[in-house]
Amino acid sequence: METFIAKRLIIRGMVQGVGFRPFIFNLANRLSLKGNVSNISSGALINIEGRAGDIESFCDLIPAQCPPLALITDSSIQNVSFRKFKEFSISASSIDNDKTGMVLPDISICDKCVSEMLDPLDSRYQYPFINCTECGPRYSIIEDIPYDRHKTSMKQFKMCETCLSEYTDYKNRRFHAQPNACKKCGPKLCLYDRHKNIINTKNPVKETANLLKSGYIVAIKGIGGFHLAVDAKNDDAVKLLRQRKIRPDKPFAVMSFSIENIKKYALVEKKEEKSLCSLQRPVVLLKKKFPFSLSEAIAPGNCFTGVMLPYAPLHYLLLQESFSALVMTSGNISGEPVAAKSNEAFEKLSDIADYFLINNREIIHRSDDSVIKYISDSPAFIRRSRGYVPAPVILKNNVPQILACGGDLKNVICLTKNNKAFLSQHIGNIENPETFRFCMETIKHMQSLFNIKPEIITHDLHPDYLSSKFAKKYASENTDIVRVPVQHHHAHIAACMAENMIDGPVIGVALDGTGYGTDGSIWGGEVLVVEAGRFQRLAHLAYIPMPGAAAAVREPWRMGIAYLYHTFGDDFFDFGIPFLQKIDTKKVKTLIQMISAKINSPLTSSMGRLFDAVAAIAGIRNNITYNGQAAMELESVSSIRNKKLYEYFLDNNEIVSIDVRPMIREIVLDLEKGIETGIIGRKFHNTLIRMLADICSTIKKKTGLNRVALSGGVFL
């Protein structure tokens, strides 16, 4: 006679908002088991009763057949007393003490919903908020966990009888789909002009498409915030958007209906296509096809263009109106967070957009589009945001509850709990008051959502960063919290190690534009040995004055002059290279006086500033309008195949100083010979690769280490 047993299972991981409860309901009924399933703060709770063999099959089939969006990270099972359930049901959610549930990121619309939306016979034909258990908004609409409709911004929309019947039908794809809605009961679109006047139209999407075709700029409310959209083929419209947004050169992202559309203007490799078509739908940086069939003003001076496929129903409806591509750039004033609320959009964007396509579903958590770039065969994040957040990075070991405040530029905060690191969406430069406020809101939301009470707060070593000042204030107000300042480049390598589950020690190569060093100088061309909470600096670019400090970042010609003076002394004034001919001699002499007198010329070992200097000396870019512009344009012209190198010198000091003056001398010689800029750029890149390989080889001989971690913006 077969034994009947009762079990209680707790399933942890990404099991809310993925159709997990309906899956468990159907699996239990298929095996004739009784009990219930419910969402709890830590995941999913299952009470199950039945034959021992059937329950064993049930437990085996959960990980084997769980929904594609689900991610089970942990589970526990225990014997319990019989409760004599009469059936299997989905029970009301409850809150437990262990609030470790993982919140699903926003997911792109699935093929089934696209098919229904484009089917004239379907009840949701052309409905721009269609979704199911396999797709749609999640993080952007959630207020708290457990994940239920009344804890989302969909709570204001009461389901109609048809939607409710779908929601309660275990055979339906929308069985317990929390954002379920239709034209009768769900969110709606409305089109306005910039003065908040409603545009009377029966079809706001069609009217928006007509406006875009006529060259107008439209602010469109999406999943994580507003986009500013124009027709990507309309050169005048793209240039007008640049003018109004005060964004002269920084590339815009574009969105196309299909991979076939994208291949008309960009080169798409299989690995890139896989990311473009993924559930996350990031912006992927692709090499342009030449001639470029979209407006050249989209990514001027750049061999890459950022492209994404539609991820919201509204995007499909717009793009099917015969657009090759739409520019879809963040709807914000430069330096501020993306606008998420309608009133905020009118206030911030009315000087930019001519019209506003708005919906009445509230965005709880704003987030920009994610951006990735392939390095060899691996995707690297330039921005990890919508589609990925708040899914955690899984760590190798459990760690204390930590709040990491990030830096002041391109800020992202991180909260840790157990073996998970919850990174926030892209926040931005927190020197801007609105962005700093957004950062504080994000910390508060994420602490609440994951019930994290920091034991440790970490921040950048720079004493004047706003993030550092916040951390000091936070620690002073919470005296049981330990405050830990962390050197910027140590953090770079530690993050790389954590993401790759490496304990160390490793040789760490950290290359970027700026980071406060332990000696008070500006670091950025660093080779370290890193192990857990310790690091040792073993090599760096030779220090050079950075005349004008922050001004040298905005004006690469300053670093060009600094490197020429550092290499040749006053002799460089006589060189006939185009770079020097374009700069006022009085400015150059003033700069030399600043360097000589050590006035506002802090020392730096920054690799980013070396890129700026070479870009300036080569005649590519003297001033920039966005971060990294000079380096990106240098990369863009460096496509000419060439294996030659420039000279460099490594000294024998305990901490190796990398002297690039031999390289600067040879670059000047090449310029005087009339060598193509593209060849100079390629030789420069070749030299850096060889130089770093030599340094790592030298350190390997000293330390015996053979594993290298690479991190920092220069690698992107």
DSSP string, 182-245: -TTTS--EEEEETTS-B---S-HHHHHHHHHHTT--EEEE-SSSEEEEEETT-HHHHHHHHHHH
Residues 119, 236, single domain; the answer is no
| Residue 664, CB-side half-sphere exposure with 13 Å CA sphere | 26
- Whether 437 is in a domain gets the answer yes
* Count of domains forming the chain: 5
Mean pLDDT of 402-428: 96
Q: What pLDDT does 145 receive?
A: 86
Q: Tell me the residue type at 304.
A: F
- Whether 95 is in a domain gets the answer no
**pLDDT digit string (tens) for 620-676?**
999 999 999 999 999 999 978 889 999 999 998 999 999 999 999 999 999 999 999
Q: What pLDDT does 97 receive?
A: 66
Q: Tell me the residue type at 263.
A: K
Judged by phi (left if over 0) then psi (alpha if -120 to 50, else beta), residue 32 lies in left
Mark which of 359, 375, 409 sits at the end of a domain: 359
Residues 326, 468, single domain; the answer is no
Residues 633, 667, single domain; the answer is yes
Residues 695, 549, single domain; the answer is yes
Mean pLDDT of 113-139: 97
Pairing mode of beta strands 218-221, 355-359:
parallel
Q: What CATH number does the domain containing 317 carry?
A: 3.90.870.40
Q: What pLDDT does 639 receive?
A: 77
- Spatial CA neighbour of 424 closest among 436, 415, 435: 415
- Hey, what are 484's tokens? 């830990």
CB-based burial label for 120 (10 Å; 0-12, 13-18, 19+): exposed
Which pTM value belongs to this model? 0.94
**pLDDT digit string (tens) for 214-227?**
999 999 999 999 99
- Whether 327 is in a domain gets the answer yes
From edge to edge, which strands make up the β-sheet containing 4-14?
71-79, 4-14, 43-51, 34-40, 88-90
Sign of the Cα pseudo-torsion (9, 14, 15, 20, in order): negative
Residues 591, 670, single domain; the answer is yes
Residues 318, 428, single domain; the answer is no
Residues 162, 196, single domain; the answer is no
- Whether 511 is in a domain gets the answer no
- Whether 531 is in a domain gets the answer no
Residues 220, 348, single domain; the answer is yes
**Contacting residues for 270 by C-beta, under 8 A, at least 6 apart:** none
Chain centroid to CA 213 = 30
- Spatial CA neighbour of 376 closest among 502, 272, 289, 288: 272
Q: Are 642 and 682 in contact (CB under 8 A)?
A: yes
Q: What range does the domain containing 415 cover?
A: 392-486
- Whether 512 is in a domain gets the answer no
Mean pLDDT of 681-708: 97
Residues 63, 199, single domain; the answer is no
- Whether 567 is in a domain gets the answer yes
Mark which of 460, 486, 512 sits at the end of a domain: 486
Does 542 have pLDDT greater than 60? yes
Mean pLDDT of 35-53: 93
Mean pLDDT of 249-266: 98
CB-based burial label for 450 (10 Å; 0-12, 13-18, 19+): buried
Q: What pLDDT does 1 receive?
A: 57
Q: Are 132 and 182 in contact (CB under 8 A)?
A: no
**pLDDT digit string (tens) for 175-185?**
999 999 999 99
Residues 72, 129, single domain; the answer is no
Residues 196, 162, single domain; the answer is no
Q: What pLDDT does 482 receive?
A: 98
Does 96 have pLDDT greater than 80? no
- Whether 307 is in a domain gets the answer yes
Residues 23, 63, single domain; the answer is yes
- Spatial CA neighbour of 419 closest among 145, 13, 95, 41: 13
